[in-house]
Structure 1
Amino acid sequence: MSEPSRRPAAGRPYLVFSDVDETLITVKSMFDFLHHQLVRRRGAAGEREYERIMAEVRRRAADGTPREDINRFYYGHYAGEPVETIGELAEDWFAERTSSGRDFYIESTREALTAHRAAGASVVLVSGSFPPLLAPLAREVGADTVLCTRPLVADGRYTGEVETPVIGAGKRAAVLGQLASRPDVDPRDCWAYGDHVSDLPMLELVGHPVAVGEAAELRQRLAERVKGVTA
């Protein structure tokens, strides 16, 4: 990832949107947490359950199932789980991952967000993951807002359903809503970070899109976008 200037144009306020999984952190938070909580609670049986779920995820992905539908399939496994319990397990997951000594953050992105905040930007995390996993990350990087998939809750328990997964078009809609809430901000001054072509609907909304990692297709699409603008 290149090191562009973080200064807002002419000192104007601006927003920085960042994907999370494999953009800010090295893991896919939803599945990393799924493994953590299943093994923590059920031991070897939890490990087998995790492998069964992941085999189904891989099968659906190979069959061309939309990422939004895989996202819904994932949250279906939390039906009946107390929100408070999942929140406690999420804090445990975050503490373990950040104290284990292994690489958890993608430092280039973390440093970029820190620099943007120092320049006066508001940082917004945008993710298909859900609040228990994103809240500690938002605290750590100083994000002002989290736009994410929000599982439905009834009587303090997850129902297993979600309204709109914040992936692809859902991510674009969430970012558009955030921009609409800030009429003082010009999208051309804003930045966005992503690692996958599914982040393109978000990245196309801002003047400074940044591809993180080795996302060849995403980089190509962004290069074509720039070429089209300057042609």
Structure 2
Amino acid sequence: MAGHGAAFFDVDETLIRAKSMFSFLRFHLARRGEPEGTYDRLTAPLHRGAAAGVPRQEINRRYYRLYEGESAAALADAGRAWFDEQCTLGGLFIEETVSRLQLHRATGDFVVLLSGSFAACLDPVAEHVGADWAIGTHPTIRRGTLTGEVVTPMIGAAKGRAAHAVAGVRGLDLAASTAYADHSSDLDLLTAVGTAVVVGDDPVLTDQAVRRGWERLTPQAHASLPF
């Protein structure tokens, strides 16, 4: 496959409208019968930390500590149930980006999803859109149970490193590759490839798009999701 390119897609607010980790957590807590308000109690410290400027990598680590002691198999099952519900509700996918992904598949590009989310959320999304690989944050698992820790949050510079690793393993040409992302933390991913596409209106990426001549993709407005 030497000389061929890849198409890298961030997931949350690039490929799907929901913030998958938080949408899934709300669903998972309700599914297992947690009292109303548990979701807000657990996520409030995360939101406060983000508002106070705590790095996204650290917020990502704190999020996965909420799953300490949970079964990996049960979370995978819950993830598929979450995805099915989201598809039934409709409006999960950003049509403009999915169309681009389908074009990349049709032209033979190796399609990779990169996300700070984890396999419980990413696997059903990847299967639905036909991605070749989905690389997310990997929670540490011991004897089938999550420890609450993660190896490396797939946030920020980690996405750029992942793109280089994928290219090396698959024999792909990053100069012939394309990346789609919506947030300033994805800058390392966008600069790792020959063609960068900014999704949405993040001010940092918008400025970079103007400076570097990157394409901007502006999805049509859609009814807001509650996550």
What TM-score results when the alignment is normalised by the length of structure 1? 0.88
Q: Name segments (4+ residues, structure 1) moved above 3 Å.
A: none
1:83 maps to 72
**CA apart distance, 1:12:** 4.7
CA distance in structure 2 between the partners assigned to 1:179 and 1:99 by the alignment: 35
What TM-score results when the alignment is normalised by the length of structure 2? 0.90
CA distance in structure 1 between the partners assigned to 2:169 and 2:211 by the alignment: 29
Query: Which of 22, 25, 33 lines up with 1:34 in the alignment?
Result: 25
**SS of the counterpart of 1:211?**
strand
CA distance in structure 1 between the partners assigned to 2:159 and 2:193 by the alignment: 13
CA distance in structure 1 between the partners assigned to 2:133 and 2:210 by the alignment: 29
More helix by share: 1
Alignment: residue pair count: 213
Q: Which amino acid aligns with 2:123?
A: A
CA distance in structure 1 between the partners assigned to 2:153 and 2:120 by the alignment: 15
Find out whether 1:53 has 2:47 as its counterpart. no
Find out whether 1:208 has 2:199 as its counterpart. no
CA distance in structure 1 between the partners assigned to 2:157 and 2:20 by the alignment: 20
1:135-146 equivalence runs, <5 A: 135-146=123-134
Q: Which amino acid aligns with 2:182?
A: D
Find out whether 1:190 has 2:177 as its counterpart. yes
2:152 maps to 164
Deviations 1:26-47 (A, max 9, x none): 010000000001112125x1x3
2:7 maps to 16
Q: Structure 1: give runs of 5+ residues left out of the alignment.
A: 1-10
2:110 maps to 122
CA contact (8 A) 2:9 2:15 kept: yes
**SS of the counterpart of 2:134?**
strand
Q: Percent of counterpart pairs with the same letter?
A: 43
**SS of the counterpart of 2:102?**
helix
Larger radius of gyration: 1
**CA apart distance, 1:201:** 0.6
2:84 maps to 95
**SS of the counterpart of 1:42?**
coil
**SS of the counterpart of 1:18?**
strand
CA contact (8 A) 2:181 2:198 kept: yes
Q: Structure 2: give runs of 5+ residues left out of the alignment.
A: 215-227
Question: What is the root-mean-square deviation of aligned Cα atoms in Å?
Answer: 1.5
**CA apart distance, 1:186:** 2.0
Deviations 1:97-129 (A, max 9, x none): 0012x3100000001000110111110000000
**SS of the counterpart of 1:81?**
coil
**SS of the counterpart of 2:60?**
helix
